[in-house]
Structure 1
């Protein structure tokens, strides 16, 4: 069920410690968690954290390596994928980020660094449809999200589903990728609903 592996922002805003630890394993509910090949599922995910959380993670264990303003965690999440933490100067301000990089690819860390800088230097705050969906998934409590299984109306193995509520208070699960623009807007926090739709590079 592993598909993603493109570099992608998975949370809008700056994650606090509680949110950071939730984001470290956004896919904990996936079926057959310890049987499938997960590196592609995690590699490429990134989000912003505070300086405090960046420094906290630096002090937990001796890093695997330190390269300038970046360091990698010694403990691997899955396969050759591990956490890399970045302190990046963007528009004159030092900001802090976490990303999952596949260290079997010698270019992955630099590609992640450049992708974060490019994304955060957008002249106008905007979000792609995929970023909107990833934020919704990241911000939704486990009780209201999951993975499609045989009980789902639209059974697609490994696809993410999320709870939708009607005006009458009833709920149903819908594939995350099938949410309409109106459903996406309703799930986003107010400050993100009206951001421009970012152009997706062809």
Structure 2
């Protein structure tokens, strides 16, 4: 299974409560879900939420710890990976975020905090190709996304797939990573299609 880069934004804009809960387990359909150690799959994922969602999660259970404007959930997702919630001042505005941090790495929470501030402090809204693909994966309903199975070529097995509609020909499964720029644009909501590349920010 592909191991994603260390820290990555997986949704553009602030997620609603329903979307937040869906993204807590974006990889629910992965092969061998109950057999593998998925720490590397989850660790480093982050996205923005609203203040109400942030406060709601704070009140669900007593936090594992509270450090200034951050708190960690007591329940671990996999291995030593747990949800950490941030209230960060960015451009004179308090914004709220959820991130998965591997607490076996003592620097992971601070590294995540710095990465979020750096990413969201840029003067121009922008998205990398990887962020576009992650947004598509996060916002696609479970029945239209999955993982390549044994019928797929060996090179594509266990990679993420997306159902792509081809008019009268119906739909076909495509590897997420193989989508063309045109196909990515077609899958994104209109307000995200024409954002500049992150390198231009």
What TM-score comes out, normalization by structure 1 length? Answer: 0.96
After TM superposition, the structure 1 = structure 2 runs for residues 112-127 of structure 1, keeping only pairs within 5 Å, are 112-127=112-127
**Secondary structure of 1:196 counterpart:** coil
Over 3 Å off, 4+ runs: 152-155
Contact 2:127–2:198, Cα closer than 8 Å, also in 1: yes
Contact 1:148–1:156, Cα closer than 8 Å, also in 2: yes
What TM-score comes out, normalization by structure 2 length? Answer: 0.96
Contact 2:2–2:159, Cα closer than 8 Å, also in 1: no
For 2:187 and 2:63, locate their aligned partners in 1 and report how far apart those are by CA, in whole Å: 37
**What do you get for the CA RMSD once the two structures are aligned?**
1.3
After TM superposition, the structure 1 = structure 2 runs for residues 127-146 of structure 1, keeping only pairs within 5 Å, are 127-146=127-146
Gaps of 5+ in 1: none
1:106 aligns with 2:106: yes
Contact 1:5–1:42, Cα closer than 8 Å, also in 2: no
Counterpart position of 1:36: 36
Counterpart position of 2:18: 18
How far 1:58 moved relative to its partner? 0.3
The number of equivalent residue pairs is 200
**Secondary structure of 1:62 counterpart:** coil
Counterpart position of 1:193: 193
